[in-house]
Structure 1
């Protein structure tokens, strides 16, 4: 399942699970208290308004992904030098609870958050990342980070909701949020002294495994076994190298290799994850998702969102060559998917373009920036197109050559001045000798 839909599905599952628990016997807990399910008092989420707020991105029901898609849309805009509209920023700020947490969506921001307000780590981490990118709302960002710290599990990781078992995706996403805010991720220890990286590494499948060598699991299954999950692997790779959703690629190196080294490090398991993703992408140029339940066609379907996430993760870790084929595939095939899924989908493609120095305004015949901007309020301003990595490198090379040339010219001038001074001294000495 692609990332956009997976978020909504997981949210829906969380609501359903919590309702069952509440009906069965579990009393609702106070907001912020540790709980195995979201605390909403057994109520169903409020129905979305007939007309969405003017500051929102997208036109579909925001109940399960309002803050998520808003945050991704604005992150993508900042990556391409577009400043979101004030109304968009204000809507996001209005979603934040006094605790610092964000819900997926609350229709009435004027109503204070209480025990029935269902907040989650994914929405909060995504919001923290865009608040960090905007740089002008440090209090809101720090409040979000503080709540995330309070929701950390004993194993060092995070689940989708406070108190839920840790999972690779949520833990990696929070690592990105902490890194965005300048928080020392490795020193963010749980009550039992475990770091987020320790939790993330616990989801990594060893290289000698029969299935999914090097991959990350979302969570252990009921038997405790770790099963490979491409979505979790892309997230785990990015989290393992301590990066947020919007990042830049590095110079490509050798192909990734899965190696079980001791002691195990976050970077090592991240690179093992890269080996798994590279192998998966090499088959068809994209990742797959299983068919929807009840579908007549049982063949795997292309997973556009997770393919884009894999491109970002691989390129960030220095494996751009292994991501190049997937990037080409996305440019040729993702337009209809992005149009159907809206702002978060456009954002994922822009993240991939940004990381690989691909022009998002000419992405397989689609202007992703224009399409994204059209899903919400008109941007406050649109700056000049940012330079690609290759263009930046050329500028730096030209500047270096210019400095070298200037240095050479200055040296020539200096030598000339010294020579002139020496001649002048010689003439003065000769003149004095003649007078004597």
Structure 2
């Protein structure tokens, strides 16, 4: 039998995308009770299938070096699987926004207008090594009556394959079309087929490295919501409470270094330099965080910081480390801090630690980011933490959605116009 050519394989993928588009129509009108039942059933099923999921995940992990920043993102364990199941249940418990009336009024001529939330249709999510994204995307899309195309990377393909098989089994058990979720081939060569699927896919959302996001943005012919890299700063003002500052810095940096809301650059008021060793003590002793400090901060830390200490180069600012590494920038005042953040921010998450109300309000007002924080850790930039159940990504752009995106952000709207024989006057 003749092997399929590359053109044949690309044609087959397009046909599968078209099938997903047609299957999306079967979700229209699917009630919230039905989607909740599917998600709760899936949560139970993945908990029961924990050994199988972990075995597939182990195969994926075996192909990646442990010091790769993506290793922790890829890693699953029983606790993380149970957390994924919990997120599925949380999404199932949230009210579906579909059918919500956003606006309603009657015109002078008697026409009744309603602006109503509706599904996007088909959403493609392009992501790298985070298998939890596979479940989050499915849950949020199903709850909003959207079909989804999952374009994971080779890194997590074995785990994703098991995950999507479980989704298909649950959909079939509930009498739903399994084609509403499609796992695309993992190789990068297939990505253009998805990004150029005009009139088939309604929206693409990339999640991953700067290179992946740039490729999607630059090559897509379909709408894209960009989820940018997280270059995260925390400014500690002269008025800050040292205990709060130490706790916030430690949590923001070390809670989980491989995620986009982790701290990259500590921006420190010059008056606090004598206390800098104390602020970074736990990072050095408990987590061995490597620090790249400017000249003033380096002088304050030298001989007092227990882990690796380096002089910062220009490249260490504006860098998303995704590792136990961070930079320190010294500033004379709030305005210098704002200027530094403006220059290097990716507009993801930025924080201020201060007791001076004027400093706090000026920071929150002036910093342009999807999430701005006062006296708390940037680790909270997360859909589940924001009470959204889960998230499909964190948008760093300003059109349609910004920050963690969940159920409402996966909808569009349409105008429903009701009349009684109304006609517009002939021109």
Question: For the superposition of Structure 1 and Structure 2, which TM-score range results when normalised by the shorter chain?
Answer: under 0.3
Q: Is the helix fraction higher in 1 or 2?
A: 1
Larger of the two Rg values belongs to structure: 1
TM-score, structure 2 as length reference: 0.24
- Whose relative contact order is higher, 1 or 2, with alpha carbons under 8 Å and at least 6 apart? 2
